[in-house]
Structure 1
Amino acid sequence: MSAFGKTSTPYWQALPFALVFLLFFVLPLGLIVMVSFWDYNGYQIIPAFTGQNYLDVFDGCIADLPDLCLTFATYLSTLEFGLMVWAITLVLGFTVAYFLAFHVRTLTMQIVLFLLCTIPFWTSNVIRMISWIPLLGRNGLVNDTLLRLGLVSEPQDWLLYSHFSVVLAFVHLYTLFMIVPIFNSMMRIDRSLLEAARDAGASGWQTVWNVVVPLCKPGIAIGSIFVVTIVMGDFVTIGVMGGQQIASIGKIIQVEMSYLQFPAAAANAVVLLAVVLLIIWGLTRMIDIRKEL
């Protein structure tokens, strides 16, 4: 094989993946950006360049400071959901991954327990969300149990169609996205490092904090990116579990699309993408994933 053939082989191997990436990511994203600068009226899109869609997104946001405009308030609410879900899924995901990696001795049992974690993904997200409604409703199992035990005197309305139910559904849906990368990082840890820490007199918590956590940074970062990016763009979970009463950026985009306001929806989507990319950039600045892997 010639020198040119040897140097070009990797490019030919990467070409199919590059074409798929171009066709299903770069091209649609480019179209969204292009449409975000188009005009529209009540019944059609007008392919004329305008920046009005972005001005409408941030309409009054500067003039109303220190009060929050609709856009800033909605982004703040969405970020709060992202932060709460990230913190809960991180604790749960790390705990489950730690148990599977260090306390389950046999590979067969690890596989069995890991498959149990994936069982919820055998059904659709909508079915998993709806399953919480008969449990958390005023006449649901949770309220009936609380009433029978005498812990409350009347049904609790905050259990369903509230911020609590939205966060609960998010955690139920997306904890596995945190478990998998953290478990993968833990399985790559040299067990002799843990033995050395114990021989040096480190307690269990000291070993976890000073040995396991630093070596799991890539998995934590990847899981965090998965969870935060999904939650930021999710509108179905917030709509169903929030009773269509809680606003989110994804919900605003969905409503604009239902009213055929595609340029406005595209502008909001571009702004949301910029915010998500900023979050990912911040995570990758704290942890160099490529270097750690």
Structure 2
Amino acid sequence: MALPQYFTLNNGEKVPAVALGTFQSDDGNSRVAATVKMALELGYRHVDGAATYANEREIGLGIKSFGVPRSEIFVTSKLPQTAHHPGVVAKALQQTLSDLGLEYVDLYLMHFPHAYKADNNLQTIRHPSGNNKPVIDYELSRYYAATWKAMEALVESGKARSIGLSNFNILKTRKLLETANIIPAVNQVELHPYLPQAELVAFSRKHGILVIAHQPLEAVLSGPYGPMKGSPDLLKMTRSGALRFLDPKPHIGFDIFDEENDQPIDNKAPWD
């Protein structure tokens, strides 16, 4: 059976089935532009990035150097955790568009449900203990539905063709749906043979939300702000039950994947 070349989102837009992920490799971002161009030359038409990856300028250069009409390439980006305040969501997307050299993105995702406190340049404020952990904005981490409202305005402006979620569980998605005017087009989550997330997939399908898998073949062990060395090859592992590799709990202090409680509950981290 032939694999689908694209999927149709709940708003009628079509997303190519396979994307080039641009999260930093061991070489940092030095090869991103060349890699994007090569992928497009080989037939990729979906490039997945994020402001947090700090390489959107390189992605834009790779797209520009390929030299095809913008309409032929599907570009995904993500709202950083430092821009969850409704008043700065549009500013964050505008910065992404400026870095990419584009007038719109095809898909814009809320990267995580939790928020960081930020300075005026949307840079993460670090914890005063010097442990390189972010200072959490607990209020915005609970009111992600308000952030979603601001993202809905991006669709109205035409600067984002579709909007969606990333790393949201069932509980948080259900809460967001209670007040959403636009149903998320997608939820991009960790999904692979060791974490099939069948209940989340079924819930999403019921509500017309396409589930997109990140790191489906090679797991990236979660460090505080990037991948850790020695990430396992999922194709070579011995099966030993459900395994989640991307989990921010060690460096934010609460479990965003808790299906019983909408965390964070407290207003401080264990190390405060």
Whether TM exceeds 0.5 here: the answer is: no
State TM-score, norm by structure 2.
0.22
State TM-score, norm by structure 1.
0.21
Task: Pick the structure with more strand per residue.
Answer: 2
Which structure: larger Rg?
1
Task: Pick the structure with more helix per residue.
Answer: 1
Relative contact order higher in (CA < 8 Å, ≥ 6 apart): 1
